[in-house]
Amino acid sequence: MKISTLLKYYNQDAILNEILRVCKDREVIPLFSKGFFGKRPSTILYKKDLLDLIRKGAVSFHISVERWRNPLSLGQTNTKQEMDELRTGWDLVFDVDTKYLGYAKICAKLLCHALEFHNINNYSVKYSGGTGFHLGVPFESFPETINSEDTAKLFPIAAQRIAVYLTDMIKEKLAENLLSIYSLESISEKTGREVKDLLDETGEFNPYSIIEIDTIAISPRHLIRMPYSVNEKKGRVSLPIAPDDIEDFSSDSAKIPDAEFTIPFLDGSKSRRGEARELFVQAFDWYNKKMQVLEDKKKNLEERERKGAGTFTKTFYKIPEEDYPPCIKKILLGLDDGKKRALFILINYFKSANYSFEEIEKIVNKWNEKNKEPLRGSYVKSQLSWAKKQMSNYLPPNCNSLMYYKDIQVCLPDEICPNIKNPLNYSYLHYKKDRHNRKK
């Protein structure tokens, strides 16, 4: 993309003013034409800063969903406490990602209805510049506290809980609306996935086999494409649109250099403080009930284990490569899609398998090099850093967890798999079986 074309587009007063408004108190990271990101931390304060970066080869710009007292004071290894002290707020942003814009429209529209159901009127929608949409609720709409905790310090936990809650809330209607327009066969043809891979364990259509509402990516210092930024791959603009315009939206209206200013994105001046309270309360209540169900299941499992009928849930030795389950082996060969979810799986698997973080980092970086389009090094590093700071060990997702192994097409069951609920169980059973065979 020519620098002159980019300058002609970005150097529109209305767009420059909106970009500077959104940049305030945020990290702003440019992506250059040669495929590398600018150094972090970084921000943009003046129009000249942005135009100079474009002249140096910047094509697109990405902003933090978190707001900071001074973005430039962020380091590479801030502790959670340090980030909580620096963070003044955060915006709730949903990234609806799919390979076909028609599917994304249906999902985005349902998320709009879900926000309105919770009495939220000031929310924003923008086209991603590719085949998805971003929906956002500004921090000014949030309650000041939740359960006596400062809401500004509840990132990313609150964002993750709300995203999972709304994902669950709209799932049934999303499946219904998709199938009212598209048949399973046409979805299979468009996505290149077999019909059986579009179904959940009950045989019902799983809409999240073709649409991802990115909840894993909601993590500390997470970046999203800035409104009115160019999408470097598609040559289209991440254009804010009115919610009522989602169904009729055409990506042609986002072509550069013709794209123009439409409406603001994440405009907190239009918010009522606390209008999102009901959403927070309902999401936290749903999460607590979900956790209680899981806790009850855990107690039942522990009781079964005590009686000798349970499954293995943790390991006290370092699992060797020959005992990796088929899904982990498949992931380690490299992937085309689902890389963020795969990274989440790998980190938790190897952490639970008693690998040191130095070993996990080497494994993950080697794996990332094999991916068709590797994840950004900064993203991988941030996920490793976050996991390292957690005091508790979390198992990788269970085998039947939606949006994981089957959805990213790494579930390759062998004779052991029907007897396990988690990939870590597989490694233990494989180890026992191998040891038993050697004794023979």
User: Burial, 262: exposed, middle or buried (Cβ in 10 Å; 0-12, 13-18, 19+)?
Assistant: buried
- Measure the CA–CA gap between 343 and 348, rounded to whole angstroms: 9
pLDDT digits (tens, 9 = 90+) for 18-30: 999 999 999 999 9
Residue in the block written with tokens 């597989």: 426
pLDDT of residue 217: 58
Beta-strand relationship, 28-32 and 149-150: unpaired
**CB of 121 closer than 8 Å to CB of 280:** no
pLDDT of residue 391: 58
Q: 319 and 270, same structural domain?
A: no
Q: Is residue 303 included in any domain, yes or no?
A: no
Q: Is residue 14 included in any domain, yes or no?
A: no
- For the record, the structure tokens of 32 come out as 């250059």
For residue 277, what is the enclosing H or E element? helix 277-306
Residue 129: pLDDT band (50, 70, 90) is: very high
Q: Is residue 65 included in any domain, yes or no?
A: no
Q: 320 and 266, same structural domain?
A: no
How far CA 158 is from CA of 18, 282, 294, in Å, comes to 27, 11, 19
pLDDT for residue 310 is more than 50? no
Among 20, 18, 26, 22, residue whose Cα is nearest residue 67: 26
Q: Give the residues across from 61 on adjacent strands.
A: 30
Domain total of the chain: 2
pLDDT digits (tens, 9 = 90+) for 370-391: 998 898 888 888 888 878 876 5
- For the record, the structure tokens of 107 come out as 């999902």
Q: Give the residues across from 136 on adjacent strands.
A: 93, 124
Q: 260 and 316, same structural domain?
A: no
Q: 99 and 200, same structural domain?
A: yes
The number of residues in the chain equals: 440
- Measure the CA–CA gap between 213 and 407, rounded to whole angstroms: 13
Contacts of 136 (CB under 8 A, 6+ apart): 91, 92, 93, 94, 123, 124, 125, 126, 265, 266
pLDDT for residue 349 is more than 80? yes
pLDDT of residue 308: 44
Q: 315 and 244, same structural domain?
A: no
pTM exceeds cut of 0.85 = no
Q: 267 and 327, same structural domain?
A: no
- Measure the CA–CA gap between 379 and 43, rounded to whole angstroms: 18
Least confident of 149-158, 255-264, 358-367: 255-264
**CB of 232 closer than 8 Å to CB of 210:** no
Q: Is residue 320 included in any domain, yes or no?
A: yes
Q: Is residue 323 included in any domain, yes or no?
A: yes
Q: 127 and 203, same structural domain?
A: yes
Q: Is residue 97 included in any domain, yes or no?
A: yes
Q: Is residue 36 included in any domain, yes or no?
A: no
Among 60, 396, 390, residue whose Cα is nearest residue 228: 60
pLDDT of residue 16: 96
- Measure the CA–CA gap between 159 and 280, rounded to whole angstroms: 9
Q: What is the mean pLDDT of residues 106-119?
A: 97
- Measure the CA–CA gap between 83 and 66, rounded to whole angstroms: 10
pLDDT of residue 312: 44
Q: Is residue 255 included in any domain, yes or no?
A: yes
pLDDT of residue 419: 84
Q: 316 and 264, same structural domain?
A: no
pLDDT digits (tens, 9 = 90+) for 317-346: 688 898 899 999 999 999 988 898 899 999
**CB of 174 closer than 8 Å to CB of 110:** yes
Q: Which of 261, 281, 301 is the C-terminal boundary of a domain?
A: 281
pLDDT digits (tens, 9 = 90+) for 180-232: 999 999 999 999 888 888 988 778 999 999 999 876 557 788 899 999 999 99
Q: 181 and 227, same structural domain?
A: yes
pLDDT of residue 406: 85
Q: 326 and 220, same structural domain?
A: no
SS3 state of residue 228: coil
pLDDT of residue 311: 43
Domain enclosing residue 274, as ranges = 83-281
pLDDT of residue 435: 59
Residue 309: pLDDT band (50, 70, 90) is: very low
Among 156, 129, 143, 122, residue whose Cα is nearest residue 265: 122
| Domain of residue 274, CATH code | 3.30.70.3300
Q: 203 and 144, same structural domain?
A: yes
On the question of a cis peptide bond just before residue 264, with omega within 30 degrees of 0, the verdict is no
pLDDT of residue 50: 96
Least confident of 23-27, 268-272, 296-300: 296-300
Mean pLDDT of all residues belonging to the chain: 88
Q: Which DSSP letter does residue 121 get?
A: -
Q: 201 and 93, same structural domain?
A: yes
How many C-beta atoms lie closer than 10 Å to residue 245's C-beta? 14
pLDDT digits (tens, 9 = 90+) for 41-73: 999 999 999 999 999 999 999 999 999 999 999
Beta-strand relationship, 133-137 and 145-146: unpaired
Q: CA torsion angle for 259, 213, 242, 232 (degrees, to 10)?
A: -10
Residue 240: pLDDT band (50, 70, 90) is: very high
